[in-house]
Structure 1
Amino acid sequence: MADTPQPPQMPQLPTFPHSPFVPYDPIVQFYECAAWAFGGDAEAWEYTGWRDETLASTTTASLHGHLNPSPTLRLTGPDALEFLSGVCVNSFANFRVGASRHAIMTDELGRVAAHGMLLRLAEDDFITYWLSPYLTYRLSHRPDLDVTAEDLTGQVFLFQLSGPRSLEVLEGAAQENLHDVRFLRHRTATVAGTEVRVIRIGMSGTLAYEVHGPVEQAIPVYEALMAAGEEYGIRRMGVQAYMCQHTQGGFGQAYYHFPLPWGEDEELAEFFAGLGFPPIGKFLRLHGSAGEDMARRYRSPYELGWGHMVRFDHDFVGRAALEREAAANARTMVTLVWNPEDIADVFLSQFRKGEEHPEMNMPNHFMYEVGDREHLQSLWADRVLAGGRDVGTSSGRCFSAHSGEMLSLATVETAVAAEGTEVVVVWGDPGTRQKEIRATVARFPYLVEPARNEHVDVSGIPSRFPARAAGTAPAGEARTANA
């Protein structure tokens, strides 16, 4: 009897590791694997489509879990606050337990070198997100201070829940009234049997919260939030839609709107190399009419619209440079609304052989390019003209499904920053068939409807759970009612 034919053996292909922070979803067709190439995991590019996902954050609720793992550093010790005050532009004169800050660090030239969230957990206990490893570098210069740093990267999760129904979703998952969590405040709650920390912050512009907890419970918490949001039409947010939030919400994002000046300091580069980082500044592929000029791509807090967070009531790295900039008031951040007819001409030009303008992806340009064997991170920035004169730099172009417009953030001369001012964005790399696109200076931040997070009066949002008694706090947590 002849041997039974065996089916051909399929070649064994390497499988990419799915993110341990969010559940695998079989409906996802495309994954962003840039992190995978560096030994990380694959993140969902889209779940239900970028339009659907971005609209959810202004109409119902969206859940984003692809910032994981977030660089997380916990600082403890009697000198922790003194150290933070010396490296952040923010004032901590009234920084109480239970409060949080969007902390900004600058270099000696006043350029943003790191920014992220800072939470005060106890008198001498702070946790930071996205400030390290630059924060660690600065700490290495202060051996005189009694500060202990603990790297929690990969040990904790961070989920972003945004949209007008986000509080209702969160309360449904926690089975608790959370109306007492005010803007930039935080406290603990329980979701899926796990103690988590709830913070009222967000980058979308709308009402939004973050939920933090131990990585071992990331997926149960994520699934509990999705289950609680089902009745409200909650959506998962993928990588492609995420950056649109930052532009329409007016919140500049590193390596989408601006780079960090990490490649010019040899001591910093050597420190990062010791942590296993690739050569800083060697991984960028620069696009846009701004060309190779890195100086115009960096940003100060004032140039990002964050000047109101700079306080000169303390000494910090970069203070002298920012004092000069504050006095000059020469440049500021605005939103630009691009002319739809000029945009249409860019698309129509693709059908005119030999007359094509540089392609304009929808809704935005991703940070990595197909077929790039060097795997460089692409960064776009375009010159802004007024009356034929170069007056600033535009970046973070995206199509807003909320307003139906092409938007970007631009740092421009204060003299042309008034709403309604007509400018021109030069589209395309130097040496290509560039296109001048008319644009109008608009309000910054652009997304003001529905109301922005800091202005939302949550007392008008219904709750199924009784309000917490005044002055009470979750078990094991210090009282933060007056934080």
Structure 2
Amino acid sequence: MPSETLSAAIARVGNPVDLLRNAPTPAHIFPIAPEFTNWRSEQRAWATTCALLDQSHHMTDLFIQGPDALRLLADLGVNTFANFGVNRAKQFVAVGPSGHLIGDAILFHLEEDLFDLVGHPFVVDWVQFHLETGDYRASAERDDNSAIRSGPPRLYRYELQGPTAVAVIETATGSPLPPTKFFHMAEFTIAGRRVRGLRHGMAGQPGFELFGPWEDGEAVLAALLEAGAAHGLVRAGAKAYSTANLESGWVPAPLPAIFDDDPRLSAYREWLPATAVGSLGGSVDSTDIADYYLSPYDIGYDRVVRFDHDFVGRAALERMAAAPPRRKVTLLWHPEDVAAAIGSLFAPGPGAKHFELPKARYALHQQDKVLVGDEQVGVSLDCGYIANERAMVSLATVDVAHSAPGTEVAVLWGEEPNSAKPQVEEHRQWRIRATVAPVPYVQFARDSYRGR
């Protein structure tokens, strides 16, 4: 039986806010082992030695090939595509006609006229729709994540990150690492297999994302584990991996801005399955779905926006660029308030909304109010606990006037009224004080990773 379209689901429920606020979709599922040791030690590894994270199963790949593949991507991406040659990658960012985010993914230029777009499905769906409905001499092969796909993925992906990541690769390859610029690719031989590697780092630490055909993955993994034994290599599971973005400052799941009354978006909602968007959670309680939209400037993507080509949403983004109202920050939650909220579990209820550790986000699209007094001055997005800093933090976007490090704000945690999402228990809202801090929060990431 065909899946219900997003358009039909909205018509059935009445409005997109109610549809998403009560959607059963959890925050995100990483279909790998939750822990190999414990998530605290696994987080520690990428700061002190080297963590190996298996990325083979939780992302969607869209392989786009043909003479118009680059034109398709340039028509949809806010990025520049000048000098985007083979063996390079970029964070591909797409917006809708209003200039608000559809989402982002990593775009690999594998061969002439062959690209691989890798990430959450939001951008993959958007690009696939335009390929199927537009006039492009290109084709696409989609490889969904392991929660959806039957059978193994097309590629394995292993992320190595941490101070000894380079040493692990050199031991596994038996040769010095070739000079490789950030977000460029190199080739290695590991266990007799050809391996491609993207110079990368998910938590602000040095590292590579290694990938190749799935059938080579077991042999490559075994060689990496053997090489890593002398360099403190630790396998990191889903729990630790889910928090890496909190250290580097990447917002993983902005709500896609696809609900406007625009003919292009109406056609897209008719094409898109209702299950493709996910759940909305948090204390932001507007009945207007547009109030949940984010712009590239809200979450720090101004560094990738280039007006050197025409793309969907360009005119709207040019207007926003003149004076972006908000800025991405880290919020350092006051430990005594977090402790009191968790402690409410041991008092007569209802208490605070449960904090799952290390990642506290309980909806796919988390949006909690950031307050100064009773005035909302921003939105807290992804939130969780960083064992390396012994801190509960969230990534947020706040009004420029309140974005200076050291500014005191509050996060309103929980929903009122409680939604029907199955991961939401009876609770009451809890005000948690927070201090504005830089993003990326971790010093290494601020000084080294983003500066390269």
Query: TM-score by structure 1 length?
Result: 0.77
Q: CA deviation at 1:350?
A: 2.3
Aligned ranges 1:21-40 → 2 under 5 Å: none
How many correspondences in the alignment?
A: 401
1:314–1:42 distance in 2 versus 1, CA, 3 Å: closer
Amino acid at match of 2:367: A
Aligned twin of 2:285: 291
Aligned twin of 2:320: 325
Aligned ranges 1:286-365 → 2 under 5 Å: 286-291=280-285, 294-354=289-349, 356-365=351-360
Aligned twin of 2:140: 149
- Judge conservation of contact 1:69–1:157 (CA < 8 Å) in 2: no
Aligned twin of 1:388: 374
Q: CA deviation at 1:64?
A: 1.0
Aligned twin of 2:270: 270
Distance 1:124 1:361 in 2: 43
User: Among residues 72, 75, 90, which one is paired with 1:83 in the alignment?
Assistant: 72
- Judge conservation of contact 1:60–1:165 (CA < 8 Å) in 2: yes
Distance 1:90 1:41 in 2: 28
Aligned twin of 1:234: 233
- From the two aligned structures, give the one with the greater helix fraction: 2
1:152–1:178 distance in 2 versus 1, CA, 3 Å: farther
Distance 1:262 1:157 in 2: 31
Amino acid at match of 1:103: F
Structure 1, unaligned stretches of length 5 or more?
1-33, 368-376, 457-483
Q: CA deviation at 1:51?
A: 0.6
Q: CA deviation at 1:66?
A: 4.1
Aligned ranges 1:34-433 → 2 under 5 Å: 42-68=31-57, 70-130=59-119, 131-143=123-135, 145-151=136-142, 154-254=153-253, 258-262=254-258, 265-273=265-273, 278-281=274-277, 283-284=278-279, 286-291=280-285, 294-354=289-349, 356-365=351-360, 367=362, 379-431=365-417, 432-433=427-428
- Judge conservation of contact 2:155–2:214 (CA < 8 Å) in 1: yes
1:231–1:314 distance in 2 versus 1, CA, 3 Å: same
Structure 2, unaligned stretches of length 5 or more?
1-23, 145-152, 418-426
Distance 1:280 1:266 in 2: 15
Q: CA deviation at 1:440?
A: 0.7
- Judge conservation of contact 2:96–2:258 (CA < 8 Å) in 1: no
User: Among residues 417, 434, 445, which one is paired with 1:439 in the alignment?
Assistant: 434
Distance 2:270 2:95 in 1: 19
Distance 1:51 1:268 in 2: 42
Distance 2:242 2:258 in 1: 22
Distance 1:172 1:240 in 2: 28
Q: CA deviation at 1:238?
A: 1.1
- Judge conservation of contact 1:159–1:210 (CA < 8 Å) in 2: yes
Aligned twin of 1:449: 444
Distance 1:65 1:452 in 2: 24
- Judge conservation of contact 2:56–2:155 (CA < 8 Å) in 1: no
CA shift digits 1:233-288 (9 cap, x unpaired): 2111111111211112101112xxx3334566442233234xxxx5444x42x432
Distance 1:201 1:428 in 2: 35
Q: CA deviation at 1:301?
A: 1.4
Secondary structure of residue in 2 paired with 1:176: coil
1:202–1:295 distance in 2 versus 1, CA, 3 Å: farther
- Judge conservation of contact 2:55–2:156 (CA < 8 Å) in 1: no
Q: CA deviation at 1:129?
A: 1.4
Query: TM-score by structure 2 length?
Result: 0.82
Rg bigger for which structure? Answer: 1
1:270–1:355 distance in 2 versus 1, CA, 3 Å: closer
Identity rate, percent: 35
Q: CA deviation at 1:424?
A: 0.9
Distance 1:359 1:298 in 2: 26
Amino acid at match of 1:118: L
Amino acid at match of 2:233: I
1:263–1:279 distance in 2 versus 1, CA, 3 Å: farther
